[in-house]
Structure 1
Amino acid sequence: MIIGFDARYAEGDLVGVGKYIQSLVTGVAKSGRTCIVFYSREPKVKISGTTAVILNSVNRYHFEQVLLPIALKKYKVDLYHATGNVGVPLFCPVPALLTVHDIIPLEIKDYFSYSPFSFLSKLSYVLRLKASIFKAAKIVTDSNYVKNVLIIKLKVTPEKIQTIYLGSPGTIMPGKLPLNLIGKKYVLNHGGIDIRKNLDRLIEAFALVHKKHGEIKLVITGENKRMREDLEKLIGKLNLGNSVVFTGYLDDATLSAVIKSACLICYPTLSEGFGFPVLEGFGKEIPVISSNISSIPEVVGNAAILVNPERVNDIAGAMEKVLDNSEQAHEMVLKGKAQYNKFSWEKCVNEYLDLYNHI
C-alpha cells in the first residue's frame, strides 16, 4: 500500500501537529508501507524511511486543490491522509482520511484577532474544514472530546469518526539549561504563545502567588511577537519586572532541560485537542496544573490538579497548593508517571494501520 501524507506541519520546527506527523509517519514507514510525504517547501528535517515530494505552491489552495491531486496520481498513491485538520482536495482521486486534532478557531471567539484579515481567515478555515470533513472517507480525532464536538457542532455522523489517542512524547536527553534559569525556582508554561493558552490569566494568577513566593519565576516558552508585546504590558502593569521570563523557541534538548528543572507546570489552556505539554510534564516527573475543560481531563485522568481556566484565583490557589505541599507534589508526580505510560505511539500507529487497511 502506498500512503500519501500532508506533511506541511512538519516543515519547520517540530511542535504540536509536526511532532505527531513525524511520530506517526515514522511508525507507518517502519511497518513496511510505502510513505510519500508532501511538503510545500523544503523541510528542516525529513522523515526517515519516506519519499519526500516538494510541491512548490503559490498558496495553500494551490497546494491542496491543484498540485496535490496531480501528485497523488503521479505517485500512484492508494490512500491520502490529511494530517492537519483540513486539506482534503475537493476532487481527490483516491480515498482520503482526515485527522481533526481540534476545532479551536471555532471555540475561541477571538482566535483570529491578531490576523489583519480576521473575518476572512475564519471564513477560509470554516470552508476548508467543512469541505474536508465532507470529502473524507473517515475522520480521526485525538480525543473523544473533539469527536463529540464534531458530532454536536458540525453534525458529523458518529460512525464516520474514530478516536485514536496519540502517544506520550518520547524521552529526549536534556541539553543545557539557559543561563538565566540556572539555580532558579520557576513555574513553567511551555505550550507556546497563543491566544488559547490563556497566558494573561496565568500571569495575573502568578502575580498573586508571587506576593507570597517572591523567589519564584514564571517561564513561558514560544514565539509570538505581537502577543508577547501585549503580555509584557500586562507584566509591567502588575509590577512583576524580571519575574516573568520569555525564552523564545527552544530546541527539543533545551526544552527537555527546562521542563526537567521546573518545580511546577501550569497549563490553564482554554481549548485543547489533546495536550502534549501535560504529558511532557508527567514524563519529566513534574507536578502539573491544567484546565478542567476540553480534552485535558480525558488525557490527565487524576494525575493533575484541574482548575477553571477562566478563574484567576483558582489558578493561583492551585499553584500555592502545590508549592506549599511537597507531599502532594510527590503524589502528583507518581500519578503522572502512571498516566504517561498509558499513551503509546506503537498503539497509536497500529490503530492507524488497521484503519488504513479498512478504508
Structure 2
Amino acid sequence: MKRSLKSKDRKKRILVDIYYLHVAQTGIRTYTEALIESVQSAVDPQFEYIISPSYASIKSSTFFKGKTPKWKNLLYQLLYFLRKAVVLPILTHWHRSDLVFSPDILSPLWSRGVKVSVIHDAAFWENPDHYNSYWRRYFLALLDFSLHRNAQAVTITEYSKKQLQKYLGIPRLPVHVVYPATNVVAKPTLTSERPLSSPYFLHVGVMEKRKNLVTLVRAYGHFLKETDKTDIKLVLVGQRGPRKELDDYDNVIQEVDQLGLGDQVVFPGFVSREVLESYYQHAFVYIFPSLNEGFGMPVLEAFSYQLPVIISQQGALMEVGGDAVIYPKDHTMEAFAEVMGRVVEDVPLRKSLIEKGNKRLIRFGGQRFLDDLEECFLRML
C-alpha cells in the first residue's frame, strides 16, 4: 500500500545502513545501537526509518563476531565493500529513500537521495600507523569518492568537526555536529551482585594503543606507592584491539607483570551488557586516559551510574565532560596518579563531580539525540 502513495503524501524515508554491526566493537556500535533504540522508542518521528539489514538478524548472527579466522575477515571486507558499491545503492532505489544514513563512516558510492556519512573522528588521518596501509588507502579513496557526490557529513563533537575539516580537503562538504546519545543508562532499581569485594577504578574499552592504558597502569602503580591504598583495585574491561597494529593488550599485561600488580589489576575481558552494568554500578571512580577520541561514550555511561570521572586532556573528552570531569595537567603517569589520589581523598570533590555529571547527562538523552538528528535531516533535505 505504501508504494502507491505519492511522495507528497508520505513521510520522508531515511534508510539506515547497520551492516557494520556484524563486526563493530567500540564507539560505532554504541552509536548505532543508540540510534536504533531512539528510533524504536520515538512516539512520532518526523521520518520513516528503514533499518537495513534487520537489527534482530544481526543480533542473532554470530558468524563474524568474536575472534575469527583470517578468511572470515577477508570475506567480511569483500561483502562490506560490495554492499557499499552495489547492494546499498540498489536498496536506496528499492525503498525510494530520500536520505541514506551510514553510521559507519562510509556512504554508498552512489544512491537515490542525500548520502550522509557519520565520521566520528579523524583517526584515519591522525594515526595512519594503526591501519594496514593498503587497506587505509583504498578505504579513504572510497570515502573521498562518496563524499564528493551528493553527500554531507555528521560528526559528534565540535572538536571532531575541526579535525575533519582540516584533513578531508573538501571545502564545500557540509559537516554537522550532532551529539549522540548513551544507550547504557543506570537502572535505579538495579541490584546486581558486586563483581569485586574491593573498591576499584574502572576503565571500559577495547585495548587499543590510543587508549593509553600502559600509562594508566603505571599511574595506578604510582598511586599505590604514594597513598598506600592497596585495597583499591584497577579494573580494565574490554578485549584486544581489532587489528594487530592497534592492539595494546600484550604491552598492558607486560607492564602489569613488571610492576608486580598481578593481584591488583583485573582483566574481565569482553563482558555482556548485564555484567558491564554491574561493573559500572559498583565502581568507585571511572578513569579514561585516552589520547585520541571522537567522543568518549563511557564518560556519559559513568555519569549515569553516579561515578566521578577522570579523563585525559583530550579535546573531545573535555567537550563532552564539560565541568563534570577532572583531568591531570599533562599525560604523564605522575600527573594521572596525582589526580587519582585527589579524587580518592576528597569526598566533597567526588560529590561535586557526581552532581555535575547528572546535569551534564541531560544533554545527551536519546530523545534529544533523535530530535537534533531529525533537525539536521530537515536542513539537508
Same-fold call, TM > 0.5? yes
Q: 1:209-228 counterparts in 2 under 5 A? A: 209-211=223-225, 212-224=228-240, 227-228=248-249
Q: 1:175-324 counterparts in 2 under 5 A? A: 176-177=192-193, 181-211=195-225, 212-224=228-240, 227-307=248-328, 310-324=331-345
Aligned partner of 1:91 among 91, 110, 119: 110
Q: 1:75-86 counterparts in 2 under 5 A? A: 75-86=95-106
Aligned partner of 1:16 among 27, 33, 38: 27
Compared with structure 1, are the counterparts of its residues 270 and 357 closer, same or farther at alpha carbon in structure 2 (3 Å cutoff)?
same
Q: Which amino acid in structure 1 is aligned with residue 99 of structure 2? A: L
Compared with structure 1, are the counterparts of its residues 293 and 163 closer, same or farther at alpha carbon in structure 2 (3 Å cutoff)?
same
**Are 2:82 and 1:62 equivalent residues in the alignment?**
yes
Q: Would the aligned equivalents of 2:154 and 2:178 in 1 still touch at CA under 8 Å?
A: yes
CA distance in 2, matches of 1:323, 1:286: 12
Note the C-alpha offset of 1:237. Answer: 1.0
Compared with structure 1, are the counterparts of its residues 40 and 229 closer, same or farther at alpha carbon in structure 2 (3 Å cutoff)?
farther
- Please identify, of 29-38 and 184-193, the stretch whose mean Cα deviation from structure 2 is larger: 29-38
TM-score under structure 2 length normalisation: 0.82
Compared with structure 1, are the counterparts of its residues 137 and 279 closer, same or farther at alpha carbon in structure 2 (3 Å cutoff)?
same
Q: Would the aligned equivalents of 2:207 and 2:213 in 1 still touch at CA under 8 Å?
A: yes
- Please identify, of 268-277 and 164-173, the stretch whose mean Cα deviation from structure 2 is larger: 164-173
Q: Would the aligned equivalents of 1:185 and 1:262 in 2 still touch at CA under 8 Å?
A: yes
Name the SS for the 2:251 alignment partner: helix
Q: Which amino acid in structure 2 is aligned with residue 65 of structure 1? A: A
CA distance in 1, matches of 2:330, 2:185: 29
Note the C-alpha offset of 1:257. Answer: 1.5
Note the C-alpha offset of 1:175. Answer: 6.4
Q: Would the aligned equivalents of 2:105 and 2:119 in 1 still touch at CA under 8 Å?
A: yes
Name the SS for the 1:253 alignment partner: helix
- Please identify, of 295-304 and 130-139, the stretch whose mean Cα deviation from structure 2 is larger: 130-139
Per-residue CA distance 1:261-308 (angstroms, 9 max, x = gap): 111111011111111111111111111100212211111111111235
Aligned partner of 1:343 among 364, 371, 377: 364
Compared with structure 1, are the counterparts of its residues 175 and 192 closer, same or farther at alpha carbon in structure 2 (3 Å cutoff)?
farther
Name the SS for the 1:43 alignment partner: helix
Q: Which runs of 5+ in 1 are unaligned?
A: 47-55, 113-117
CA distance in 2, matches of 1:133, 1:310: 35
CA distance in 2, matches of 1:159, 1:94: 16
Q: CA RMSD in A?
A: 2.5
Q: Would the aligned equivalents of 1:57 and 1:63 in 2 still touch at CA under 8 Å?
A: no
Per-residue CA distance 1:306-327 (angstroms, 9 max, x = gap): 2356311111111111112222
CA distance in 1, matches of 2:13, 2:262: 55
What is the match of residue 73 of structure 1?
93
Note the C-alpha offset of 1:249. Answer: 1.4
CA distance in 2, matches of 1:69, 1:242: 53
CA distance in 1, matches of 2:146, 2:191: 40
Q: Which amino acid in structure 2 is aligned with residue 18 of structure 1? A: R
Q: Which amino acid in structure 1 is aligned with residue 334 of structure 2? A: N
Compared with structure 1, are the counterparts of its residues 170 and 182 closer, same or farther at alpha carbon in structure 2 (3 Å cutoff)?
closer
**Are 2:121 and 1:102 equivalent residues in the alignment?**
yes
CA distance in 2, matches of 1:256, 1:81: 30
CA distance in 1, matches of 2:183, 2:297: 7
Name the SS for the 1:241 alignment partner: coil
Compared with structure 1, are the counterparts of its residues 220 and 57 closer, same or farther at alpha carbon in structure 2 (3 Å cutoff)?
closer
What is the match of residue 69 of structure 2?
none
Compared with structure 1, are the counterparts of its residues 21 and 270 closer, same or farther at alpha carbon in structure 2 (3 Å cutoff)?
same
Note the C-alpha offset of 1:94. Answer: 2.6
Number of residues paired by the alignment? 342
Aligned partner of 1:3 among 7, 11, 14: 14
CA distance in 2, matches of 1:125, 1:40: 25
More helix by share: 2
Q: Which runs of 5+ in 2 are unaligned?
A: 1-11, 62-75, 242-246
Name the SS for the 1:171 alignment partner: coil
